[in-house]
Amino acid sequence: MSFKRTIALIIILVALGTYFYLWEVRGTSKNLKEEEVERIFPSDKEDVEEVELIRGSEIIRCRKTNKGWQITAPFEASDIDDVMSDLLSDVGNAVMIEVIDTNPSNLADYGLDRPRMGLSLKFKDDPTPKTLLLGDSNPNRTCIYAKFEDLPEVILVGSLLKHDLETGIFALKQKCPKS
């Protein structure tokens, strides 16, 4: 190997090392720490007593009983503990990315005038359900515009939440008794 080639490889190696240090090692301190993350539904999944999954005009209602989770509407079914456990874990891990608009003048700008999907959770110690409405995707399709039904602000949530809700709806519909 020639001297020029060795010097060129050393320069490339130093540049890559610098990049790695500045962006990967030092940059991790700028990443969100666990305590800085704001969960959409901060309560434990064990505290959830009722769930409504909403897609358009379709609503699937589930209730926790002493026999486990059961679908109560639009049909009745039991033995859905595994589906509900997965769904509530996914929902419990969902985080708010950022507040987009604290007092929006037009919810249609975010697809929230007629939300595509929604999720309503009722907790043990709170008689009022917490309903999250999901609207359109953001321009780069990495997040979904959302808002709580009782709050004015529009927030961004990860698009994986929409996928998790769709997966939950599909799995619950599979429990529909065949007639």
Read off the pLDDT of residues 60-109 as tens digits, 9 standing for 90 and up: 999 999 999 999 999 988 889 999 999 999 998 899 999 999 999 999 99
Q: Are residues 113 and 163 in the same domain?
A: yes
Q: Are residues 126 and 166 in the same domain?
A: yes
Q: Is the confidence at residue 55, as pLDDT, over 70?
A: yes
Q: Are residues 56 and 134 in the same domain?
A: yes
- Give the pLDDT band (50/70/90) at residue 29: very low
Please state, in angstroms and rounded to a whole number, the distance separating the CA atoms of residues 39 and 48: 15
Domain span including residue 76: 37-173
The helix/strand/coil state of 178 is coil
Please state, in angstroms and rounded to a whole number, the distance separating the CA atoms of residues 133 and 149: 7
Q: Are residues 63 and 98 in the same domain?
A: yes
Tell me if 13 is assigned to some domain.
yes
Q: Are residues 72 and 16 in the same domain?
A: no
Tell me if 122 is assigned to some domain.
yes
Q: Is the confidence at residue 33, as pLDDT, over 90?
A: no
DSSP state of 140: T
Tell me if 65 is assigned to some domain.
yes
Q: Are residues 75 and 105 in the same domain?
A: yes
Q: Tell me the CA end-to-end span of the chain in Å, nearest whole number.
A: 77
pLDDT tens readout for residues 107-151: 999 999 999 899 999 999 888 999 999 999 999 888 999 999 999
Tell me if 109 is assigned to some domain.
yes
Long-range contacts from 76-82, C-beta under 8 angstroms, 24+ separation: 76/177, 77/172, 77/175, 77/176, 77/177, 79/175, 80/172, 80/175
Please state, in angstroms and rounded to a whole number, the distance separating the CA atoms of residues 165 and 178: 23
Q: Are residues 80 and 133 in the same domain?
A: yes
Tell me if 119 is assigned to some domain.
yes
Q: Are residues 136 and 103 in the same domain?
A: yes
Phi, psi of 5 (to 5 degrees): -65, -40
CA dihedral over 60, 86, 149, 118, signed as positive or negative:
negative
Tell me if 179 is assigned to some domain.
no
Q: Are residues 161 and 84 in the same domain?
A: yes
Looking at residue 24, its pLDDT comes to 65
DSSP state of 143: E
Tell me if 178 is assigned to some domain.
no
Q: Is the confidence at residue 30, as pLDDT, over 90?
A: no
Q: How many domains does the chain have?
A: 2
Looking at residue 32, its pLDDT comes to 46
Strand ranges of the sheet holding 126-137, from the earlier edge strand across to the other edge: 68-73, 58-65, 48-55, 117-123, 126-137, 143-148, 154-158, 96-101
Residue that has been written with the tokens 């005038």 in this structure: 113
Q: Are residues 19 and 48 in the same domain?
A: no
Q: Are residues 20 and 73 in the same domain?
A: no
If one compares 89 and 31, the residue with the highest pLDDT of the two is 89
